[in-house]
Chain A
Amino acid sequence: MAVSVDEAVSTGPARDHPPPARRLGGRSRSVLEVALLTVLAVVMLFPVLWMIETSIKENRDVYAVPAEFFGFTVTMDHFKDVFVGPDGGRSALSVAFLNSILVAGASTVLATVLGVPAAWAYSRFAVKAKKDQLFFILSTRFMPPVVVVIPIFLMYRQVGLIDTKLGLILIYAAYNLPFTIWMMKGFVDEVPAEYEDAAMLDGYTRLQAFRRFTLPLLVPGIAATAVFALIFSWNEFVFAIFLTSSDSVRTAPPAIAGLIGGTTVDWGLVAAASVVFALPVLVFAYLVRKHLIAGVTLGAVRR
């Protein structure tokens, strides 16, 4: 019984509202609340809107003082610069985006392939010290990345994984695995074990029962979990910046951050790159909005 955004929405009208006549000023209070909510919404959304606006402004409008909110010339040049390099070929940013897709995709697949069976086993079998194991698994996810990256850096240097996509894929998979296991265990717990017991009475082995009967029921859960893992890997910055350096390997977050390295910063380009980078995340997050609470708490809270 996960409380999702949708549920929160559909709980329906007339929850705790006092009848309007009961209290004097109930109406003006309601107006005040709406006003306050509007102000908060504007404050929270303004930076996002400003980013989108900056990405379609011409450079002279970007740096205009005082800032121009309306009536500027719309241009798509910055978006073109994100994908097309100055020489007409592929830009460094577009290579970084491709790398991001590859790294996030592969690490998500790896985390899912390892995590789903483990979650099923933790849910179904009496594993010794199960609770301790599960808490240990989750606590690895809470390690400060800056601390973990020091030994990982030395380790990768030894085995030649520094500045390789494989290195990033492995660390991201390890980073997403605790999340995948916790999230998936919740989904497996919701599928009655009796289905498998019944299948086994019919002569299937436990493994076949899992594959034929439980796994198909888990597909929506697996999809939601994978989407979250994808978002986490896509947004990750700390490992990316310390473990990779060359343009051909670098993922999008360090590449975008690299745009502000020089003396002058092309903020229009930064904004356009940020929009391109953030758009898929927002779309994916919208797709999994039902599971958002479980997702952002690493599968720990689901009520």
Chain B
Amino acid sequence: MSDPVPLTTDHPGQLASATPPAPVRSRRLSDRGLAVGFISPALLLLLAMSVFPLLWTLFLSFTDYSATRGGPAHFVGFGNYTAILTSAQVHQRALTTLIYVVGAVTLQTVLGFTIAYLISRRTHGRGVLTTLFLVPMMLSPVVVGLFWRFMLDAQFGVINSMLGSLGLGQVEWLTRQRTALISLIVVDTWQWTPFIMLIALAGLTAIPKYLYEAASIDRASEWFRFRTITLPLVWPLLLIAVLFRAIEAFRLFDLVYILTSGGPGVSTETLSFHVYKVAFLGFNTGTASAYGILMVLVVIVLTQIYLRYLNKLKEG
């Protein structure tokens, strides 16, 4: 970032008192002074709490520093990076994360769009329906994770109980390698389908009515109208929602932590969860930092795509 605002100091101790400075008692405070005075406190807090920590992580990623062992950090060059990029463990976590992100986001998009489409075709009760569908999204991941853990319990969970009364067998949802990852995807889908639905609904209701009227004068088939009017007009906004969810899913930590703790074995360990284990259970702070920086790079690339696309959409 190019930072034109002259920052007086960026030391973290100061930020508690970071409020706009009292206006200089000149008759007219210059606009420039006002802009600097209003923007710099906010930027200071971000520098202290986001940029400085990241720079520190960057520094640590080139060392063998350990948070528990203490002692001075030794410079190890790109050692941490090569270790991570060549580690089979990390490759496996990357694959798990990829399956999870693609699976969850795809399911959410299909379901969310379907619900939005169905709601947009209703004439009555849209408000109530929308509000009801939005509930899961507002819950904390802690509540969602805990509660699904209870519902998916192999012995007294309600899901197995319902399967049982349908005459189907019991499934060990969270304790089998394959079903655990599926459960994670299902729970994330349950929570975030409303997000896609909300944005798709905004796109659907913004489509001008006359397009459909014109199409029905031409006796266009329903499928044709969907394909040539609905989908192209909703798609840009839907893509924003999908990208947003993909970034969020890539960062996901809390749900994994609560629902499966990465288990059984390492079958649900995503990259975020693995970083946590390296940093806080293994205390290889240097390695974890390099790991984190690599993840940040991925997020930056994704965020750039997202923001650029958003920008294009706003200008277009």
Contacts and interface: CB of A to CB of B under 8 A. Distances in A.
Contacts of A23: 222
Contacts of B12: 155, 159
Contact of A267 (B29, B39, B115, B150): B150
Contact of B237 (A144, A146, A282, A303): A303
B194 A44 contact: yes
A286 B44 CA distance: 33
A143 B126 contact: no
Interface stretch (B30-38, B75-83, B87-95, B177-185): B30-38
Nearest to B130: A5
Interface in B33-65: 34-35, 38-39, 41-43, 45-46, 48-54, 56-57, 60
A293 interface: yes
A281 B139 contact: yes
Interface residues of A, number: 114
Contact of A235 (B51, B122, B140): B140
B34 A207 contact: yes
A131 B285 CA distance: 35
Contacts of B304: 139
A31 interface: no
Given A37-B118, A64-B156, A173-B45, A148 B53 contact: yes
Contacts of B41: 114, 117-118
Interface in B264-316: 272-273, 275-276, 279-280, 285, 288-289, 292-293, 295-296, 299-300, 302-304, 307, 310-311
A297 B115 contact: no
B2 A144 contact: no
Most chain A CB inside 10 Å of its own CB: which residue of B28, B225, B276 = B276
A201 interface: no
Query: From DSSP, what is the main secondary structure of chain A's interface residues?
Result: helix
A140 B50 contact: yes
Interface centre among B15, B51, B53, B205 (most CB of A within 10 A): B53
Nearest to A260: B146
Interface in A200-247: 205-207, 231, 234-235, 237-238, 241-242
A150 B289 contact: yes
A27 B177 CA distance: 46
A50 interface: yes
B205 A7 contact: yes
B67 interface: yes
Q: On chain B, which size bracket covers the interface? A: 35 or more
Given A151-B56, A174-B49, A289 B131 contact: yes
A285 interface: yes
Contacts of A177: 42, 45-46
Nearest to B137: A296
A18 B216 contact: yes
A263 B143 CA distance: 19
B240 A37 contact: no
B137 A37 contact: no
A159 B49 CA distance: 13
B304 to A, nearest CB: 8
A121 B296 contact: no
Contact of B16 (A3, A145, A166, A271): A166
A16 B121 contact: yes
Nearest to A33: B118
A159 B29 contact: no
Contact of A256 (B143, B237, B300, B303): B143
A153 B280 CA distance: 10
A283 B293 CA distance: 38
Interface string B99-143: 000000000000100110011111110110111111111111111
Interface in A174-213: 174-175, 177-178, 181, 205-207
A133 B45 contact: no
A72 interface: no
Contacts of A127: 4-5, 35, 39
B84 interface: no
Given A136-B1, A297-B199, A114 B142 contact: no
Contacts of B72: none
Contacts of B141: 235, 237
A303 B206 CA distance: 9
B13 to A, nearest CB: 7
B144 to A, nearest CB: 8
Q: Which 3 A-B residue pairings sit nearest by Cβ, starting from the closest?
A: A174-B49, A147-B292, A151-B53
Interface of A: 3, 5-9, 11, 13-18, 23, 33-34, 36-37, 40-41, 44-45, 47-48, 50-51, 54, 62-67, 113-115, 117-118, 120-122, 124-125, 127-129, 131-133, 135-140, 142-148, 150-155, 157, 159, 166, 170-171, 173-175, 177-178, 181, 205-207, 231, 234-235, 237-238, 241-242, 253-254, 256-257, 259-260, 265, 267, 270-271, 274, 277-278, 281-282, 285-286, 289, 292-293, 296-297, 300-301, 303
5 contacts: A5-B134, A33-B122, A122-B39, A139-B303, A143-B296
